[in-house]
């Protein structure tokens, strides 16, 4: 047993510690890791569950919404009895029950450019569980200013995507999505699809935290077609004219989305 893992922790994480890619050293890295998770819906629920179960030491989760009945086909952190509760509170209760070794800081707040740096704090990684472009733009700018990677996940109908943005090495969110889309109603969604995407986000996050650099989806977007059950990767390139991460990037001027 590692001097840094308790007997209970060693048993809890035994099946992943036995993996050569993780080992005791990797598990200790997870124990001391700090992850900021934005959004506790279909994506964030699954990502948070797997990150907590894997032994991430500190999860800082933020969501501004309350649990609604229509959430329950996909948002697995929330149960029928949680309807009306703050999602942050509901999620923290489940995560604490799942793994008391994972410290969960839950905040009921809207993420803005004014409070984003404070909310993200000293996290090593941002995981996106949001459902709107504006918040992702904010997270992207915070990622760039703080120099910390940003795991993007998204679902639209029966398709989904995952990529990892690494400041200075990869394109940023606005290289890929430079235009503001027209407003539209929330898309339909079948629960297993955000479950797949959220699981892959958690896998990318865990690999990053333990130092597994191969296959991290840097400069690649993993596209999931839920109708045809196809997975494909798309190479991504930086936009030299991107006003956020290109030559014109100015952290001060990006203080407003």
Give the C-alpha separation, 131 to 106, whole Å.
Answer: 18
Does 255 fall in a domain? no
116: confidence class by pLDDT, cuts 50, 70, 90: very high
241 within some domain = no
Q: Confidence class of residue 246 from pLDDT cuts 50, 70 and 90?
A: confident
Instruction: Give the mean model confidence (pLDDT) for residues 106-123.
Output: 97
Total domains, the chain: 1
* Average pLDDT of the residues of the chain: 93
Show Cβ contacts of residue 19 under 8 Å, excluding neighbours closer than 6 positions. Answer: none
What CATH number is associated with residue 144?
3.40.50.720
Structure pTM?
0.93
118 domain residue, yes or no: yes
Q: Residue written as tokens 């030559």?
A: 247
On whether residue 256 sits in a domain, the answer given is: no
Per the DSSP assignment, residues forming a β-bridge with 61 are 37, 106
pLDDT tops 90 at residue 248 = no
Question: Does a structural domain hold residue 175?
Answer: yes
Is residue 6 domain-resident?
Answer: no
Rounded to an integer, what distance in angstroms lies between the CA atom of residue 205 and that of residue 136?
Answer: 17
Task: Kindly state whether residue 145 falls inside one of the protein's structural domains.
Answer: yes
Look up the domain containing 173 and give its range. 17-235
Residues 83, 193: contact at Cβ < 8 Å?
no
Q: How confident is the model over 137-195, as pLDDT tens digits? A: 999 999 999 999 999 999 999 999 999 999 999 999 999 998 766 556 677 999 999 99
**Does residue 246 belong to any structural domain of this protein?**
no
The predicted pLDDT at position 178 comes to: 86
């Amino acid at each position: 047993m590692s001097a840094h893992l308790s007997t209970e922790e060693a048993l809890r994480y035994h099946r992943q510690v036995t993996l050569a890619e993780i080992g005791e050293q990797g598990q200790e890295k997870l124990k001391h890791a700090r992850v900021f998770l934005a959004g506790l819906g279909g994506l964030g629920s699954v990502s948070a569950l797997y990150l907590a179960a894997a032994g991430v030491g500190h999860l800082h989760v933020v969501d501004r919404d309350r649990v609604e009945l229509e959430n329950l086909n996909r948002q697995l952190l929330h149960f029928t009895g949680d309807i009306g509760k703050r999602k942050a509170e509901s999620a923290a209760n489940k995560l604490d029950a799942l793994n008391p070794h994972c410290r969960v800081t839950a905040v009921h707040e809207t993420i803005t450019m004014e409070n984003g740096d404070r909310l993200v704090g000293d996290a090593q990684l941002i995981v996106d569980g949001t459902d709107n472009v504006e918040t992702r733009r904010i997270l992207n700018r915070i990622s760039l200013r703080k120099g910390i990677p940003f795991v993007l996940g998204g679902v639209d109908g029966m398709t989904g995507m995952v990529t990892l943005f690494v400041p200075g090495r990869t394109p940023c969110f606005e290289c890929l999505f430079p235009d503001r889309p027209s407003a539209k109603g929330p898309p339909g969604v079948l629960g297993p699809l955000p479950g797949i995407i959220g699981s892959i986000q958690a896998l990318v996050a865990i690999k990053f935290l333990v130092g597994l650099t191969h296959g991290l989806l840097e400069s690649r977007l993993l596209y999931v077609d839920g109708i045809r059950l196809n997975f494909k990767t798309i190479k991504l390139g930086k936009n030299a004219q991107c006003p956020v991460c290109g030559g014109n990037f100015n952290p001060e001027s990006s203080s407003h989305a």
